[in-house]
Amino acid sequence: MKVQLLYFDGCPNWHEADDRLREALDAVGNAGVAVERVRVSTPEQAVELSFHGSPSVLVNGVDLFAEPGAPVGLTCRLYRTASGLSGAPTVDQLIEVLAAR
């Protein structure tokens, strides 16, 4: 399993997403899986990576939370959670999508 966390330097939420991703990987029995952190620094790189905003979680190259028609670019990303919009997916959301992989 290849896990990547895509982010850009101006994003205030990627550290929280990183912590939650590590917790979720541990919870689904993938504690040994490394998370590759990928800093996206140009609009061209954002297009090349189909970067839908920071933070983005990819497993085997697939954005686990991509919504159809979502814009690509160096922006902060929002996630729909049970308690409203958040700058990072919850641990439970991450567990759900990781367990399905």
pLDDT band per the 50, 70, 90 thresholds, residue 42: very high
pLDDT at 100 over 90: no
Q: In what order do the strands lie in the sheet with 56-59?
A: 35-39, 3-7, 56-59, 62-63
Check pLDDT > 80 for residue 69: yes
Domain boundaries, the chain: 3-99
Q: What is the average pLDDT score of the chain?
A: 94
Torsional class of 57: left (φ above 0), alpha (ψ -120 to 50), beta (otherwise):
beta
Pick 3-99's CATH classification: 3.40.30, 1.25.40, 3.30.450, 3.40.50: 3.40.30
If pLDDT is split at 50, 70 and 90, which confidence band does 64 have?
confident
Mean pLDDT calculated for residue range 56-69: 91
pLDDT of residue 65: 92
Number of H helices, E strands in the chain: 3, 6
Total-model pTM:
0.92
